[in-house]
Amino acid sequence: MSIKKRKNARKPKRRRRVGSDSTYTQTRSLERRARSAYLDDDDPEKALEWFEQAEAVGPLSDDSLGLYLDVLHTAREVDDYARIALTMVDRRPGDPMANMLAGSACYSTMQPVSAIVYWEKMIQLDPSYHGVGLARQELAKLRKYLPEILDAFVDDLPKELPRIASVENILHFFKLGRFDEVILRCQKHLDRYPNDLRARNNLAEAFSYRGDQSDALEVLDETIRQSPQNFYAHAVRSRVLYFLNRKSDSAADAAKLRTLTPKQISDLTKAAQTFAFRGDDDEIGWAYGVAADSGWLEDESPDVAMLMHYEATRLARADEWKAAKTQWKKAVRMAGGSTQASENLDDLRQPIGERHGPFFFDIQDWFSRKQLAAMQSALAAIRDGEDENTHVSDTLRRFIQQNREVESLLPDMLDRGDGLSVQFAAKLAQYSDNDDAQVALRDFVSGSRGTDSLRSELAGDLHRDGILKSETIELYVRGKLDRIEFIDFEITDEPVIPNDRDEVCLQMIETGVEHLHAGEGAEAEEIFRRLIQSKPDAPDIKNNLAMALQVQDRKDEANRLIDEVIDQHPDYFFGQIALAKRALQRKEYDQALETLMPLQRRKLLHATEFVALAQAMVYTFIGRREFPSAERWLGMLQNYDPDNPSVGQLQSLILLKRDRRGLLSGVLGGA
């Protein structure tokens, strides 16, 4: 049928899009960019980037889904390919191609029942469709193993394939962290299967991870009313109550798990996760033991790998390192790729002072999606702030005020989180008025968990803020307790000019110093002798004259001048540095340290003073064989002046002077 355009037909008015339609416009614009990148520029990576941005704005159009699948296929993003294929078949259930693609995607992502359902639907819709022959072959294979597949799907409901396929799809979206979509799919599923407790548990967890803890608790309470012995629901409920800071209620649910019977490995893995958040290490061992006694550890599944990670971390926290390594390695072998287990093994390979320590969870595990979004906004605000220190404190305090439930997690993040979790928790705890968080922060600083550099930095912050009153503290350095004196000074490169200096004098000093740096001792001597006639009591001019004499190898004359400076000006910084160097030459390292310590306590150092002090401190601590302290000062020097030629020399000297045992410890990182 053809449609003729009528002459003088009145054109319909174009509707103006307002409000949420701006999202529609933005999404379509991003889709066009993705299409152009893929089809015109042959740039699938850029196309994928545009599609991901479009998804973040709003739902993709039906016209874009097919192209998005092509992009994902090219990029080998198998899991997201399955997600988009399932989205397509939901929108176009009567399309044979959509069912074929969904079946193939599910087959590739371990959703066998879904593959059967979608391929059979494709054949039903169009028996002559071009993919039917291959689909029939694969269906025959899947049907052969279907009884085993259904046996592995443990629940008390009839084994209807559409229901099980729906659960597989929910779990796939869950694995990808698409919690908004999980919630919608669970709600749709429960409309059809209201007694499916597995889906109810998935819905509760999705609410919890999204940040809607009250909604999660409401769903769990209803599930437990329907099924009081539901092991998984009690495990999840204990975790939700923990995040709501209802610790006693959480403990009651956790304790009840010992009286219930788990039906499958996922029950015990979920229980172990809850125990890990709560710090119930012994209970993790119990869950692992039940799994072992039930024979469930023989299956190489993601749930088994995760349970092994929890057990390995428990063992490491109990200093059973050999057993912990064995379990982590098994978990990595099962899970493949980068996992929390592999990250723990990587951490163990670091030198002992650079390890974070065993951890159960990454930073994203501690926060809901809403809290992560708020945290990212806070970090972006800090990054864009002008007055860094004030802005950081104000922004983090505001984050805490808006997310009060996070405060109760800070002690546990310090104790059981990964390196990033610990750093963020420590920073929040500094700006929190929560007593438990403050105590946990002080305990962390004085403990052996975390890197030496982080604990040292935090100790300095707490001392600066008046929380640590003493001028010294015992810190773990390379695995051993070491008494550290706080270093709390500022470094400036602004010239310090005495009041009696005129422009002519300053110019002569600058010229003399240039001659010194060039090794021209005689020229420098001439200038500083002229200056000393008009400034006979200036310690800096005498010191520079002494240096000019040293360049000319006239050491006796130089030493006499230095003696004058030390005797007449005991507060002159470089005079004390010279005194310390004399003690070092005599190998009187305690005397050198006694001379240098008052210089360290000054609140403001010129850049040249800091460099001289740092170098002298490194030599002093090398002589005392206190290599961690020598490395700490060398690290400060390297951070401030990485191009200073003495940095490499001092690094080599530290390695040379270590005894064999110390060197091996530094290289191998201990056991």
What's the pLDDT tens digit per position in 95-122? 999 999 999 999 999 999 999 999 999 9
Over the Cα atoms of the chain, what is R_g? 34
At residue 390, the pLDDT reads 57
Least confident range from 23-27, 351-355, 386-390, 431-435: namely 386-390
Integer Cα distance of 333 and 390 in angstroms? 47
Confidence of residue 256 (pLDDT cuts 50, 70, 90): very high
- Is the confidence at residue 665, as pLDDT, over 60? no
At residue 355, the pLDDT reads 92
88 within domain boundaries: yes
- Is the confidence at residue 429, as pLDDT, over 50? yes
Q: What is the DSSP string of 399-465?
A: HHHHTGGGGGGHHHHHHHB-HHHHHHHHHHHHT---HHHHHHHHHHHHSS-S-HHHHHHHHHHHHHT
Least confident range from 74-78, 168-172, 283-287, 550-554: namely 550-554
Domain count, the chain: 4
Give the largest Cα separation in the chain, rounded. 113
CB count within 10 Å of CB 229 equals: 12
User: Do 622 and 558 reside in the same domain of the chain?
Assistant: yes
Integer Cα distance of 424 and 125 in angstroms? 54
* 3-class DSSP assignment, residue 42: coil
14 within domain boundaries: no
User: Mean pLDDT, the chain, as a whole number?
Assistant: 89
222 within domain boundaries: no
- What's the whole-model pTM score? 0.75
Structure-block tokens of residue 196: 């499916």
Least Cα distance to 326 among 338, 313, 343 occurs for 313
Highest mean pLDDT among 56-60, 287-291, 463-467, 525-529: 287-291
Residues 6+ apart with CB under 8 A from 301: 265, 334
Tell me the mean pLDDT in the region 608-620: 93
User: Do 57 and 137 reside in the same domain of the chain?
Assistant: yes
User: Do 458 and 595 reside in the same domain of the chain?
Assistant: no
- Is the confidence at residue 239, as pLDDT, over 60? yes
User: Do 46 and 149 reside in the same domain of the chain?
Assistant: yes
The torsion angle over the Cα atoms of residues 38, 42, 48 and 53, rounded to 10 degrees, is -60
User: Do 318 and 410 reside in the same domain of the chain?
Assistant: no
424 within domain boundaries: yes
At residue 270, the pLDDT reads 98
Domain boundary among 213, 237, 253: 213
User: Do 60 and 179 reside in the same domain of the chain?
Assistant: yes
Confidence of residue 639 (pLDDT cuts 50, 70, 90): confident
Residues 6+ apart with CB under 8 A from 627: 621, 654, 657, 658, 662
User: Do 445 and 530 reside in the same domain of the chain?
Assistant: no
Structure-block tokens of residue 508: 């002569």
Helix (H) / strand (E) containing 76 = none
- Is the confidence at residue 646, as pLDDT, over 60? yes
For residue range 363-419, what is the model confidence (pLDDT) as tens digits?
999 999 999 988 888 777 776 664 455 567 888 888 898 888 899 999 999 999 999
Give the domain range for residue 428: 363-486
Confidence of residue 629 (pLDDT cuts 50, 70, 90): confident
Tell me, what CATH number does 132's domain have? 1.25.40.10
Structure-block tokens of residue 267: 């029950």
Integer Cα distance of 504 and 507 in angstroms? 5
- Is the confidence at residue 216, as pLDDT, over 80? yes
At residue 389, the pLDDT reads 56
Least Cα distance to 542 among 559, 523, 522, 556 occurs for 559
At residue 658, the pLDDT reads 66
User: Do 110 and 139 reside in the same domain of the chain?
Assistant: yes
Tell me the mean pLDDT in the region 176-204: 96
Least confident range from 23-32, 125-134, 455-464, 561-570: namely 455-464
Amino acid at 140: A
224 within domain boundaries: no
Q: Which residues pair with 605 in a beta bridge?
A: 491
For residue range 273-321, what is the model confidence (pLDDT) as tens digits?
999 999 999 999 999 999 999 999 998 899 999 999 999 999 999 999 9
Integer Cα distance of 262 and 289 in angstroms? 12
User: Do 408 and 521 reside in the same domain of the chain?
Assistant: no
Domain boundary among 435, 456, 486: 486
10 within domain boundaries: no
639 within domain boundaries: yes
Integer Cα distance of 560 and 558 in angstroms? 5
Q: Could you tell me if 204 and 115 are in contact, meaning their C-beta atoms sit under 8 angstroms apart? A: no
Tell me the mean pLDDT in the region 584-589: 93
Integer Cα distance of 238 and 277 in angstroms? 10
- Is the confidence at residue 5, as pLDDT, over 70? no
User: Do 480 and 624 reside in the same domain of the chain?
Assistant: no
- The residue whose two tokens read 């049907």 is 143
At residue 53, the pLDDT reads 95
User: Do 161 and 30 reside in the same domain of the chain?
Assistant: yes
At residue 387, the pLDDT reads 46
44 within domain boundaries: yes
User: Do 385 and 332 reside in the same domain of the chain?
Assistant: no
Confidence of residue 86 (pLDDT cuts 50, 70, 90): very high
Of the chain, the percentage scoring pLDDT greater than 90 comes to 61
At residue 659, the pLDDT reads 52
Tell me the mean pLDDT in the region 525-549: 88
Residue 617, φ and ψ in degrees, nearest 5 = -65, -40
Domain boundary among 435, 465, 486: 486
Integer Cα distance of 107 and 120 in angstroms? 13
